[in-house]
Amino acid sequence: MSDTTATAPPTTATIGTAGIGLDQVRAHVTAAEWQARLEAAACYRLVAHFGMSDLVYNHITVRIPEGAPGGGERLLINPYGWMYEEITASSLITIDLAGRILLNPHTDIGINQAGYVIHSAVHGARADVGCVIHTHTRAGMAVSAMRCGLLPLTQTAMRCLPVAYHDYEGPAVDPAERARLVADLGDARCMILRNHGLLTAAPSVAEAFNALYWLEMACRAQVDAMAARTELAFPPEAVIAHTRHLYHPETRRRFGLMEWPAMLRLLDRRDRSWRT
């Protein structure tokens, strides 16, 4: 989650994965893992496309739905040192919840320790979460530094409610922080990491990206409105509650699923290399 330079200690790959190069990954993973890799790579590219990336930092983690042989969870995470716009399905690294590397097609690149310290905590505590996204956007950091947090100024902000908050404890490399962050997140999909950035967690990549997009847009709108130095208009509490209810995924639809194919078409029109 942070820009720490610490990386996970190198570990031996799972039997059958040693020496696998980028051009060999697809042939050595299951169909379920390859589909997860495609969705994760698309999400990295989309976050970059919409201006929400931070050089080579931050993370998107995706749960591989079939788990690990013999049991246990497996996650996909970015190679530390690659920009989001460079990520491909084959370039992602497979880890377990403890951060041990299970498949790494790179010979000289590992993962950022903060990626597995926090993301794996959310995946481990929330069986409903298939994807976790963390960003350091300008608007997200600005709102994270506001004592008021995210205000219900716009419909876009109201659709993000409820928003969870976690106080800043420094770069996220201390495993002891995991329990506190998970407790603060609860069952929310959107979290503001105070003095730090944004985080979303959802059942699918499509839903996590959609939640992040709207949380980011809400933060941008709030920063703009507060910068105008005029009196802010808030809807009545009953209207806020009604709007929040209508945008709950169980009320009308799971937001993000319908939009996802259009997002993939957007990527394909620009550069299909994310699929490799």
Q: How confident is the model at residue 271 (pLDDT cuts 50, 70, 90)?
A: very high
The average confidence (pLDDT) of the chain is: 90
Q: Is the pLDDT of residue 13 over 60?
A: no
- What integer pLDDT is reported at residue 69 of this predicted model? 74
Query: pLDDT exceeding 70 applies to what percent of the chain?
Result: 92
Distance CA 41, CA 39 (A): 6
- What integer pLDDT is reported at residue 165 of this predicted model? 98
Q: How many CA atoms lie within 13 A of 258 on its CB side?
A: 5
* Residues 51, 79 contacting (CB under 8 angstroms): no
Q: Region 240-256: what's the mean pLDDT? A: 86
The number of distinct structural domains making up the chain is 1
Indicate the range of 1-5, 27-31, 144-148, 209-213 predicted with least confidence: 1-5
What are the distances in angstroms from CA 167 to CA 61, 66, 170, 174, 195? 22, 34, 9, 14, 8
Q: Answer whether residue 45 is part of any domain.
A: yes
Query: pLDDT exceeding 90 applies to what percent of the chain?
Result: 73
Residue type, 117: V
Peptide bond into 162 cis (omega under 30): yes
**Residue 5's CB: how many other CB atoms inside 10 A?**
9
Q: Is the pLDDT of residue 260 over 90?
A: yes
Q: Region 52-79: what's the mean pLDDT? A: 90
- The rounded radius of gyration (Å) of the Cα atoms in the chain is 18
Q: What is the pLDDT of residues 30-54, one digit of tens each?
A: 999 999 999 999 999 999 999 999 9
Q: Answer whether residue 3 is part of any domain.
A: no
Q: Answer whether residue 156 is part of any domain.
A: yes
* Residues 119, 1 contacting (CB under 8 angstroms): yes
Q: Answer whether residue 118 is part of any domain.
A: yes
206-235 burial: b if 16+ Cβ within 10 Å, else e: bbbbbbbbbbbbbbbbbbeebeeeeeeeee
Domain that holds residue 251: 22-270
* Residues 129, 193 contacting (CB under 8 angstroms): no
Q: Answer whether residue 11 is part of any domain.
A: no
Q: What is the pLDDT of residues 107-154, one digit of tens each?
A: 889 998 766 778 988 999 999 999 999 999 999 999 999 999 999 999
Q: Answer whether residue 5 is part of any domain.
A: no
Q: Answer whether residue 10 is part of any domain.
A: no
- What integer pLDDT is reported at residue 14 of this predicted model? 38
Residue scoring higher pLDDT (198 or 4): 198
pTM: 0.90
Q: Answer whether residue 2 is part of any domain.
A: no
Ordered DSSP codes for the chain:
------BPPP-PPPTT-TT--GGGHHHHS-HHHHHHHHHHHHHHHHHHHTT--BTTB-EEEEE-TT--TTS--EEEE--TT--GGG--TTT-EEEETT--EEE---SS---BHHHHHHHHHHHHH-TT-SEEEEE--HHHHHHHT-TT-S---SHHHHTT-SEEEE---SSS--TTHHHHHHHHHTT-SEEEETTTEEEEEESSHHHHHHHHHHHHHHHHHHHHHHHTTSPPP---HHHHHHHHHHTSTTTS--TTTTTHHHHHHHHHHH-GGGG-
- What integer pLDDT is reported at residue 210 of this predicted model? 96
Residue 238: CATH number of its domain = 3.40.225.10
* Residues 162, 150 contacting (CB under 8 angstroms): no
Q: What is the pLDDT of residues 138-197, one digit of tens each?
A: 999 999 999 999 999 999 999 999 999 999 998 877 788 889 999 999 999 999 999 999
Q: Is the pLDDT of residue 8 over 50?
A: no
Q: How confident is the model at residue 19 (pLDDT cuts 50, 70, 90)?
A: low
What are the distances in angstroms from CA 26 to CA 150, 229, 265? 42, 54, 22
Longest dimension (CA), the chain: 63
